[in-house]
Structure 1
């Protein structure tokens, strides 16, 4: 498989997803020596670029928020990197299972409420809370660990709008009435969307706010109904949602092990391992590149002032040539099969 190097630091190894404005790659960070998820924007439209840069500007440090690591750009495009989360999304899990047990759903809803509390405390509204934007750590049949991600249309209180004309950003099923009708971007719209998501955890992806009126009486659905109240002033805050979920005791009830979150990433292409470049051709070229970089650094190092000529001084250039040849030979040797 052909890899793409960007900005001299990242190697785009394989495509793992596609978003509204870019392709998501599994990327090797050659500086920090870790795997990242990398969104690559190849769209020239200025609005897409502004949304892309807005996402990288959201740097919320929280255990349930996927925050960007950094960004870079070159002739290949603009790249945004973030931690690599391998368990897929809630959307994938709901597609497979239909619904989720109450103790499992309560844990995820509580984590999402914590994430929204952190996001809103920074003056940010996410604006696109939905199952596809909630990522999962691959914990198997153990305790779930969810992350709120994709801040591409998030908005700070002081930000200018990036909509065009009457266009409303977001996903219709999760849009609060005030967002759909008046374009509101206030934090209660996130609570509404999270309420729809909570209903879907228990009722399936077809559920929406009206469906809660005919839903069976259970604690989590009662909380979801409050979160999707038509009046934004009547909705609970994320902190109040957390307290309500906690009061049910469901987030602390035993899990039955029926929900399994696997590692959904495909196997790494030949030449790559969990630790990065392998020992075949890809690895040899990587090590050779590192050796060549070391040679360039040495070559660019400041030199001492000229000294008085001596027999020893006349021998130095020959010695440097010998050392340089040895270093080049070592770099070439890295390219040879082992």
Structure 2
């Protein structure tokens, strides 16, 4: 029996380079540092070497190790996000610059906005004044009204996706970001039946019950976001168990707002359980802008201007969150131990409604019939007496001179 020699040929495997600082995407975008991550992938600060500008580059989840069908789905989602964002051009929306391919992997190239998200700001302040929350909501609604006119539904409006520029001339500018799960109303490709995408705490009830996302569900999510900004937590509270929270959302029974003040009617309209009874995004924009402007204020300025800055306090976009690497030890602190910047009092913003602090009772002034309680004060040591000092006027000096002259004349007469 003849023997058979089995020859095994080993093909060297060249793993893909792991993206990191210095990595060059599509021969053009040089990665510098990671800005954050999300459900669709990491976001990097990069330099566009062709145009010599800073950009944000979003690395879509790698397709390595996936089946061809799954990899195709990931690429399709990235292309859809790029197309959706590119269709939207608005001063309050992050702009899409490019869709780059690196080793077959899609990367989204977007406007870079040095900023803090509303979620990061709330992590520091807990709540925002009513006028600030209305101003932010009005500008996001303005961008989303344009998106809806283009047939785009965002599907994930929440505090973490709303950015406020914190440096330079753009400081205070509000922008909605992350159209990663957005889609056009008529885009039926790659829609998985029965899969709910988004953040449950900001869901509309119809989504929690398995309905399709619509413009009305975006209005609800924005209302839930503004509610969170003034109340300190989402309208359905918080729960680590997403299913428990989802059932709560499906019932549509929100916790009534207690701090929203003039904003309450607008919030309740946006958080209406029935989608057909909610305002449109354009109507919500106008109502929020009127509240932010205040009686007799300029509604147009609210929609076109950055958030107002209070010169006597740190602006909200300059506050450092607890997760920030920058120390807050140098910040002035109140008697409760909290940073003084935690309490915001913008000059153009009305304070959030809520129970007024109890006035401090005046300290009673003791009378002779009401001795002061407590240990007696130590006696004050006596002050050594000092010789009285009498003022000498010019008249006294004159009289003295006359007397002296008379005495001299008498002495001379007697001597003679």
TM norm structure 2: 0.59
| CA distance in structure 2 between the aligned counterparts of 1:217 and 1:42, rounded to whole angstroms | 39
Q: Deviations over 1:17-44 (max 9, x none)?
A: 1111211111100111100000012421
| Alignment match, 2:192 | 164
| Alignment match, 2:269 | 226
| Alignment match, 1:84 | 112
1:35 is the counterpart of 2:54: yes
Aligned to 2:265, the other structure's residue is in SS state: helix
Aligned to 2:124, the other structure's residue is in SS state: helix
1:154 is the counterpart of 2:173: no
Distance apart, 1:62 and its partner CA? 0.3
The answer to whether the 8 A contact 2:100-2:108 is kept is yes
| Alignment match, 1:57 | 83
1:101 is the counterpart of 2:129: yes
1:137 is the counterpart of 2:165: yes
**For 1:48, which of 47, 53, 74 is the aligned residue?**
74
Q: Deviations over 1:205-230 (max 9, x none)?
A: 34437444253561213211110101
| CA distance in structure 1 between the aligned counterparts of 2:258 and 2:189, rounded to whole angstroms | 36
| CA distance in structure 2 between the aligned counterparts of 1:36 and 1:94, rounded to whole angstroms | 26
Aligned to 2:316, the other structure's residue is in SS state: coil
1:13 is the counterpart of 2:32: yes
1:260 is the counterpart of 2:286: no
The answer to whether the 8 A contact 2:25-2:31 is kept is yes
| CA distance in structure 2 between the aligned counterparts of 1:177 and 1:210, rounded to whole angstroms | 9
Q: Deviations over 1:218-275 (max 9, x none)?
A: 12132111101011110011111122123335465975445331398999xxxxxxxx
| Alignment match, 1:23 | 42
Distance apart, 1:99 and its partner CA? 0.4
Aligned to 1:153, the other structure's residue is in SS state: coil
| Higher share of residues assigned helix | 1
Q: 1:70 to 1:200 in 2, by over 3 A?
A: same
**For 1:247, which of 287, 290, 315 is the aligned residue?**
290
Range with greater deviation from structure 2 (214-223 or 109-118): 214-223
Q: Deviations over 1:101-122 (max 9, x none)?
A: 1221121111011011011010
| Alignment match, 2:217 | 189
| CA distance in structure 2 between the aligned counterparts of 1:222 and 1:170, rounded to whole angstroms | 26
| Alignment match, 1:303 | none
| Alignment match, 1:305 | none
Q: Deviations over 1:42-61 (max 9, x none)?
A: 42133332221111002211
| CA distance in structure 2 between the aligned counterparts of 1:81 and 1:223, rounded to whole angstroms | 36
Aligned to 1:79, the other structure's residue is in SS state: strand
Gaps of 5+ in 2: 1-19, 64-70, 237-251, 299-307, 327-416
| CA distance in structure 2 between the aligned counterparts of 1:136 and 1:127, rounded to whole angstroms | 20
> RMSD of the TM alignment (CA)?
2.7
| CA distance in structure 1 between the aligned counterparts of 2:260 and 2:54, rounded to whole angstroms | 45
Aligned length: 267
1:238 is the counterpart of 2:281: yes
Aligned to 1:115, the other structure's residue is in SS state: helix
TM norm structure 1: 0.72
- Rg (Cα) greater in structure: 2
